[in-house]
Amino acid sequence: MPLLSAPVASHLADTVYLRNQPGGISIAELERQMNLGGAGVSIVGRSDGGAAGLLSGKSGPALFRETSAFGVMLQREGAGVKDHILVFRGTRFDSGRDWLSNATMGLSPGPAGLVSHMGFTKVYESILPDVEEAMKKVGRVTSLHVLGHSLGGALATLFAAHYKAAGVPDVRLYTFGAPRTVTTLSNAALTTKLGADNIRRVYSRCDPVPMIPIFPFAHLNDCDDRLIDGFSIINGGAHSMVDNYKARLTEAGHWPTRVSNWEMFTADYWLDIAETARTKPFSALCAWALNNAISALINAIVGVGQLAFMGPLTLVDRLAALLQYGLDLGQRFGETVARLLRTIASFLGLALTIGADIGKAVIRYLIDRFLGALANMASLALTRFL
């Protein structure tokens, strides 16, 4: 089963949003729009007048979860082979931005034994019954493409894991501007199961959404298809599916050239980059490098201390405690932690003197401000630029 082309995959990831346009859209018109990109698809169940391929789910805060259209299941035939395609939309989070919150860790058992983000997992579980019904409609599925933009990319990741574990032989995953979905303990295992060559994770370095949630969540290993867009400031417009991802992939006509696996580098490597870029307020390069520095440093500290992410502490409290622990370790991590905090302060435009004697309250304040800045920029992108 060949990969979907970049223009076709990005067109489908964009067109699925039509299901939520004011006034709705007919099945026939949705199918017509999806085929304008040359996909050659039909919605599952369409031939007999049904709509088994229309997928709905629930999202929003726990007490106010609303049911809405979340995606479609498609099929296409060619050269005697039938492919099936699951496409999921993102969301504007008009009914609540619970997954953007830094207040809690939000870990949850996910499909195929993964540990994933609780908010994404709840939405996935709410959609799963509709997907299972569509699967029954088509019978045995041997090749499956799963794709989505923003939250849709997180859902695509979980559904790809689910159906690979369920025995679908060929599963391909495509995400555009997706947030981090699974933990650092799960990302390598999922990459291995799917195969890095079967994954296309496209993102813009100026897009704030792929920067969140922060550690312990991570993107899949060895899957880094970055749009080459320079090192400008963080820009909500970079999250737009139609104006950025679809437009640029359609113009290029192919997937981006895959870049090196950045996770192999140390925190000091990333801090070198962040310090170079911090002269520009809210530099996308600085924020991206700081994110990687935090992950690399916390991974190194946890590797020494074997600290558990358990108990009633919030994510900010846990990160602050781990960084304080790194300071207390002295020579091995102390200066790197202080350097990280100085660079975060500079990124935020704060003039602080930070040394090895910094208190936990200041550490927590800086982490809270940094994560809050990323979440606010992601919120703006989600509410204005889908």
Mean pLDDT of the chain: 82
Rounded-to-integer distance, Cα 223 and Cα 197, Å: 8
pLDDT at 164: 96
pLDDT at 89: 92
pLDDT at 307: 42
pLDDT at 74: 93
pLDDT at 356: 63
Share of the chain above pLDDT 90, in %: 30
Contact 147, 4 (CB under 8 A): yes
> In this predicted model, which residue has the larger pLDDT, 52 or 367?
367
Rounded-to-integer distance, Cα 200 and Cα 219, Å: 12
| CB-count exposure of residue 77 (10 Å: 0-12, 13-18, 19+) | exposed
State mean pLDDT over 284-296: 87
Per DSSP bridges, beta strands 81-88 and 225-227 are: unpaired
Query: Does position 374 have pLDDT exceeding 70, yes or no?
Result: yes
3-class secondary structure for the chain? CCCCCHHHHHHHHHHHHHHHCCCCCCHHHHHHHHHHHCCCCEECCHHHCCCCCEEEEEECCHHHCEEEEEEEEEEEEECCEEEEEEEECCCCCCCCCHHHCCCCCCEEECHHHCEEEHHHHHHHHHHHHHHHHHHHHHCCCCEEEEEEECHHHHHHHHHHHHHHHCCCCEEEEEEECCCCCEECCCHHHHHHHHCHHHEEEEEECCCCHHHCCCCCEECCCCCCEEECCCCCECCHHHHCHHHHHHHHHHHHCCCCCCCCCHHHCCHHHHHHHHHHHCCCCCEHHHHHHHHHHHHHHHHHHHHHHCCCCCCCCCHHHHHHHHHHHHHHCHHHCHHHHHHHHHHHHHHCCCCCCCCCCCCHHHHHHHHHHHHHHHHHHHHHHHHHCC
Query: Does position 338 have pLDDT exceeding 70, yes or no?
Result: yes
pLDDT digits over 20-35, tens only? Answer: 877 778 888 988 998 9
User: φ and ψ at 307, to 5 degrees?
Assistant: -80, 140
Share of the chain above pLDDT 70, in %: 84
pLDDT at 38: 85
pLDDT digits over 160-215, tens only? Answer: 999 999 999 999 999 999 999 998 878 888 999 999 999 999 998 888 888 888 77
Rounded-to-integer distance, Cα 38 and Cα 34, Å: 8
pLDDT at 98: 42
Query: Does position 312 have pLDDT exceeding 50, yes or no?
Result: no
State mean pLDDT over 57-76: 76
> In this predicted model, which residue has the larger pLDDT, 375 or 133?
133
* Sign of the alpha-carbon dihedral angle for 347, 350, 356, 357: negative
State mean pLDDT over 86-96: 70
User: φ and ψ at 220, to 5 degrees?
Assistant: -65, 145
Per-residue pLDDT band for 79 (boundaries 50, 70, 90) equals low
**Structural domains of the chain, ranges and CATH numbers in brackets:** 6-263 (3.40.50.1820), 267-375 (no CATH)
pLDDT at 63: 46
According to the per-residue pLDDT averaged within each range, which of 65-69, 274-278, 374-378 is highest?
274-278
